Amino acid sequence: MQSKIGCYIIAVAVITVWSTTFVSTKILLRSLSPEEIMFYRHVLAYLVLLAAYPHVIRPEDFVRNCCSRERGSLAVPFIS
């Protein structure tokens, strides 16, 4: 029962964040370009994720662990 309540709390938090980003983007477009807004959103997301998971991922580990599985799916549009 506790985990179900926690899931509802997380869902409400996500809905709140998504709804406020729409309004804030409309307001920010008065003074910033869309590229600047996206840049600042990505920087903010990076900092939040870095705070949540502060481990350093080296590029060679990323390529070895992640990209090797996706190589096959990257070739699909060119094969078909």
3-state secondary structure (DSSP) of residue 25: helix
Residue 16 has pLDDT above 70, yes or no: yes
pLDDT digits (tens, 9 = 90+) for 26-61: 999 999 999 999 999 999 988 988 888 877 767 666
pLDDT tens across 57-80, in order? 676 666 666 655 555 566 556 565
Q: Encoding tokens for residue 80? A: 């078909």
Round to whole Å and give the CA distance between 9 and 49.
Answer: 19
- Rounded to two decimals, what is the model's pTM? 0.55
Confidence of residue 9 (pLDDT cuts 50, 70, 90): very high
Separation between Cα atoms, residue 21 and residue 28, nearest integer Å: 10
CA neighbor of 44 nearest in space, from 72, 25, 23: 25
